[in-house]
Amino acid sequence: MKICVVSDSHDRADPLARAVQAAKALGAEAVIHCGDLIGAQTVKPALAAGLPVHAIHGNNLGDAQAMHFQSRMSGGLLQYHGAEARLELAGRRLIVTHYDHHGYALACTGEWDLVCCGHSHRAEARLVPDVKGASSWLVNPGTVAGLAAPATWVLADLAAMRFDVHTLDL
C-alpha cells in the first residue's frame, strides 16, 4: 500500500490538492496529514481525489468544530483524529503527531513501524534506533505549502518501507 504523507498546508488548498493528486497518480490509496491543516475548507479540494484522508490539527488548531463537521459531511473520506492519530494500514503500526521532537521520541519507543510528524517544515525520512534494539521509521514530509522551505510531500510505500520526498513547483 502506498500513502501520501503531507503536513503544514497552513490553509493553502491548492498545493495540498496537487500533492494528493500526484500521489494518487503514483498509486497512493490514502493520505496522512500531519497537522497545521488549519481550515476545514483547505481539505475539500484534496477530498476530490477520492482517497481517505487521516488528519490531525497540529499547533495551529484552526476551527476544530468545523473540521469535525467536515469529517461528518465527507462520506467517510476525512477522518479527523484531533491531536494524534494511531492507525494500522497494510499491517503496519503508524502514529501521526505534529511536533517533530514528539515524533522522534515516539520512534525511540519501538512501538511503531512508522512515525509521521511535521512542524519543522523540513522533509526527511530516517530510521531511528529504538529501545528494543531495532529501529522505527520517522517521516516528516516538510511543508506542502512551501512556507520558508520548498513545497514537499512524501510518497510512502508501506510494503517496501520506502519513502520518497517529492517537491511541488509553486
**How many domains, in total, are found in the chain?**
1
Q: Which domain holds residue 42?
A: 2-168
Three-state secondary structure string covering the chain: CEEEEECCCCCCHHHHHHHHHHHHHCCEEEEEECCCCCCHHHHHHHHCCCCCEEECCCCCCCCHHHHHHHHHHCCCCEEECCCCEEEEECCEEEEECCCHHHHHHHHHHCCCCEEECCCCCCEEEEEEECCCCCEEEEEEECECCCCCCCEEEEEEECCCCEEEEEEECC
Instruction: Say if pTM beats, i.e. exceeds, 0.75.
Output: yes
Q: What is the CATH number of the domain that holds 142?
A: 3.60.21.10
Lowest mean pLDDT, pick from 59-68, 78-87, 110-119 = 59-68
Average pLDDT over residues 27-31: 99
The band of 63, judged by pLDDT with boundaries at 50, 70 and 90, is confident
